Amino acid sequence: MTTMPETPPSDGTEVEPEERPPEETVDFVETYETDDGIVFYDVDNPLAWLESDQVVPLDETL
């Protein structure tokens, strides 16, 4: 999983994301249930969440 900064730089430059080793990524993902399903999000950046219309086992994405 790649972490992104909470806010983009204001000068227009691009920021390289910080790479995490795959075995550590699950430790940084949390979930909660809504009426529409389950939301997966990055605990370091809760605005980084996933939406899908298909079920995908997380271990297949690593």
**Which residues, including other chains, have CB under 8 Å from residue 62's CB and lie 6 or more apart?**
22, 25
Cross-sheet strand order for the sheet of 45-49: 29-34, 37-42, 45-49
Could you report the per-residue pLDDT of 10-29, keeping only the tens digit for each? 666 665 656 656 555 557 78
pTM, full prediction: 0.44
**Which residues, including other chains, have CB under 8 Å from residue 54's CB and lie 6 or more apart?**
none
Could you report the per-residue pLDDT of 39-60, keeping only the tens digit for each? 888 888 888 887 777 777 767 7
Place of tokens 């920021």: 15
Domain boundaries, the chain: 22-62
